[in-house]
Amino acid sequence: MLSALDSVVLAIDIGGTKMACGLISQTGELLAAERFATAESLDPEVLFAPLQAACQRLIDQSPLAPKAIGVGCGGPMRYPEGIVSPLNIHGWRDFPLRDRLIESFNLPTIVDNDAKALAVGERWRGAGHGSNNMLGMVVSTGVGGGVILDGKLLHGESGNAGHVGHIVVWPNGPPCGCGARGCVEGTASGSGLARRLAMAQAEGQPTSLPRDATAADIAAAARVGDGLARFLFRTAGEAVGRGIASAAALLDLERVVIGGSIALLAWDLLGPPLEAELHASAQLDFTRNLKVVHAELGDRAGLFGAAQLGLSLL
Ligand SMILES: [Zn+2]
């Protein structure tokens, strides 16, 4: 039960397909939440208006006035300014999200990367519970991450610490959206898998898959024995395992929490090569006991993470 001594924060989770906002107490109680589809518009105000309205409805019905706002949003962004240009929200380019929320609600506000928020959320209420040295990883349309070291979320020079998706694990490997080759993201993300399939089809490699197959289609084909689909997922799992081994050696991690749609829908295909490659590559004593676990909070991780970011301002 909410006590009058509790603090409440407004948590906001912004993605390319949906937005969510919620009221969360400092004891981790989700008091109310709203979810809605991200508007398809190039007008930044058409994107912001429903978010502002949903937040206002939550504040109006809250038994306690929220004391801060925490936001997890897709990158890239300028941190800590909170000026966002999410890759998959085309209507927001250099949109001053943090300033607009401060103008609207007059509360201390922090805007951070959505993968960093997931890491913080899973540590607070999910599979990262009790870990002071963990990597939270999202394997989805892209591959993102957030690092908690010595109990603190790492930010780095420009707020971008934790971009585990761009560790290079395959010299001269598949092209990545970032412009490099052989990144974890270019190999194992949903967009990377689709791009690699298209390239293999253009080279004439045999497969049962149609030209515009999604990562879910590739997973289904791999399960019924399509050789190319099986190769794509095996190398994807190896890429993630190699990336985790490198991160573990660099950071001395205790745990890796993996979430995201690809990890969720295809762990049967991704997990075994990941574990095998991790086992082969993590040979230092301190990396051998690294635990790789599934995220537990699903689409609530972003909201709980955003709430923790907000609570950090109090
Ligand atoms: Zn990359």
Amino acid type, 257: V
* Residue 100: half-sphere exposure toward Cβ, Cα within 13 Å: 18
- For 73, 166, 199, 228, the CA distances from 242, given in Å and listed in that order, are 27, 12, 23, 21
The CA distance from 47 to 19, in Å, is 10
Residues of the chain with pLDDT under 50: none
- Asked if residue 240 lies in contact with residue 282, where contact means CB atoms within 8 angstroms, the answer is no
**Ligand 1 ion: residues within 5 Å (CB):** 166, 176, 178, 180, 183
* Residue 199: half-sphere exposure toward Cβ, Cα within 13 Å: 13
Query: Which bin fits 51, alpha (ψ -120 to 50), beta or left (φ > 0)?
Result: alpha
The CA distance from 188 to 192, in Å, is 6
Question: What are the structure tokens assigned to 283, written together?
Answer: 């040979």
Report how far ligand 1's centroid is from the alpha carbon of 189 (Å).
11
Per-residue confidence (pLDDT) for residue 6, from 0 to 100: 81
Question: What are the structure tokens assigned to 197, written together?
Answer: 């399939």
* Residue 38: half-sphere exposure toward Cβ, Cα within 13 Å: 20
Report how far ligand 1's centroid is from the alpha carbon of 94 (Å).
22
Q: Residue 231 contacts by C-beta under 8 Å, 6 or more apart in sequence?
A: none
Per-residue confidence (pLDDT) for residue 26, from 0 to 100: 95
Is residue 12 helix, strand or coil? Answer: strand
The CA distance from 272 to 4, in Å, is 49
pLDDT digit string (tens) for 193-240?
A: 999 999 999 999 999 999 999 999 999 999 999 999 999 999 999 999
Q: Tell me the β-bridge partners of 25.
A: 8
Residue entry with tokens 């109090």: 314
Report how far ligand 1's centroid is from the alpha carbon of 272 (Å).
23
The CA distance from 224 to 253, in Å, is 36
Report how far ligand 1's centroid is from the alpha carbon of 264 (Å).
22
Residue 201, number of CB atoms within 10 A of its CB: 16
